[in-house]
Amino acid sequence: MIHQMTRSFFLFLSSRTTLNTFAQKWGLKFGASHIVAGQTMNDALRVAESLHSQGLTCIFDHLGEFVHSKEEAREATNAAIATIERIATSPLDIHLSVKLTQLGLSIDEDFCLQNMTDIVAAAKKHQVFVCIDMENYTHYEQTLRILEKLRQQNEQVGTVLQAYLRHAMKDLKQLHDVPLRLVKGAYKESEKVAFQKKEIIDEHFYRMITTHLKEGVFTAIATHDHRIIEKVISFVQKNNIPTDTFEFQFLYGFRPNLQQQLVQQGYAVRIYVPFGKDWFGYFMRRLAERPQNISFAMRGLLQRK
C-alpha cells in the first residue's frame, strides 16, 4: 500500500510541466546526476566512452516530453538528427531512442509522422538504429500507426512494448518481425488496460520475451530484475537461442555489478543513457518504480545542504 502511494505521488510529479520548468533552471539536482548522463551531447558521449571501456554499448535518449508547439517539436527533431550525425562520427556502438510526444504527437499526428520521417531518413543514411519509446496509453495506438508507416521506408526502426498492458501479447505477435525493446512498464495506467499486480506483470513479461526470442527477431530485454534475467538465460541456453539475436538493457546508473556479470558471461549489454535539460519527468518515474531509488534523491538533498 505504501509503495503504491509513493509510486502514485512520483508519477503525479513526473507530469507537472511547472516543476519541469523549474528543474531546467536547477540543473541536475537531488541525485539526478546518478542516472542522467548530463545536459549536453558531449556529456552523453563521455559516459558512452566510459561504458564502452567496460564492454557495454549504449542507446541515447535526448530527454524532452513537455512540447506544446510545432516550433519546439521541430527543434527536437533537428536535435535528434544532430544526435544521429554525431553518433555516426563516433566509433562507438550507439542507438537512438525517441519519444513521439517530444516530436509533436500531441499536436498533430501527421506533423509528428513527418518529423519522424526526417529522423528515420537520417538514421538510414548513417546506419543508426532508432527505437520509438512507448509512452502512456493515450498515445499507444498512434505510436503503432506511425511505426508501421516508418518501417515501409526503413526497417532499422523498432519500438517498445510494455508487459503491464493487457493486450501487449496480441500486439507482440502482430509485430513478430519488428526489433523490439520489451519492458514491464513505468506509467500509471488504469486497471482496465493494464495489469496491476507485480506477479502477473512479471509472468506476462517473461512470456513476451520468450515468444519474441523464438521468432528469431532481435529482442532487447530491458529489466533490472535478476530473477527474470536468470530465467531468460536458462531459456536461451535450453533452446539454443543465438546470443547475437538479443541483448539485455539497463538504465544508466542501475545495477552496474549485474551488467558486468552478464558481459563476463558473454552476453550483450546495452545501457540506456538519457541526457538533456528536461530530466525531471524521467527522474520522477525512476523514483516511482522502486522505493530504493528514493535514496538517490535523499543523498542529493543532503549533499546540496
Residue indicated by cell numbers 518501417: 151
Q: How confident is the model at residue 95 (pLDDT cuts 50, 70, 90)?
A: very high
Q: In the 8-state DSSP scheme, what is residue 243?
A: G
Give the largest Cα separation in the chain, rounded: 54
Query: What is the Cα–Cα distance from 273 to 296, expressed in whole angstroms?
Result: 17
Question: 3-state SS of the chain: helix, strand, coil percent to 5?
Answer: 55, 15, 30
- pLDDT-wise least confident of 14-18, 70-74, 177-181, 287-291: 14-18
Q: Is the pLDDT of residue 178 over 90?
A: yes
In the chain, pLDDT over 90 holds for what percent of residues? 70
Mean pLDDT calculated for residue range 44-50 = 96
Catalytic residues: 133, 181
pLDDT tens profile 128-141: 999 999 998 999 99
CATH architecture of 37-278: Alpha-Beta Barrel (3.20)
pLDDT tens profile 235-267: 999 999 999 999 999 999 889 999 999 999 999
Query: What is the Cα–Cα distance from 77 to 100, expressed in whole angstroms?
Result: 10
- DSSP secondary structure string for all residues of 79-148: HHHHHHHHHHTSSS-EEEEE-GGGGTTTT-HHHHHHHHHHHHHHHHHHT--EEE----GGGHHHHHHHHH
Mean pLDDT calculated for residue range 86-110 = 96
**Domain residue spans of the chain:** 1-33+284-305, 37-278
- Residues near 157 by Cβ (< 8 Å), separated by ≥ 6? 120, 123, 129, 130, 131, 132, 147, 150, 151
The DSSP H or E segment spanning 283 is helix 280-289
Query: What is the Cα–Cα distance from 63 to 76, expressed in whole angstroms?
Result: 9
Q: In the 8-state DSSP scheme, what is residue 239?
A: T
- Residue at 199: amino acid letter: E
pTM exceeds cut of 0.95: no
Query: What is the Cα–Cα distance from 140 to 100, expressed in whole angstroms?
Result: 10
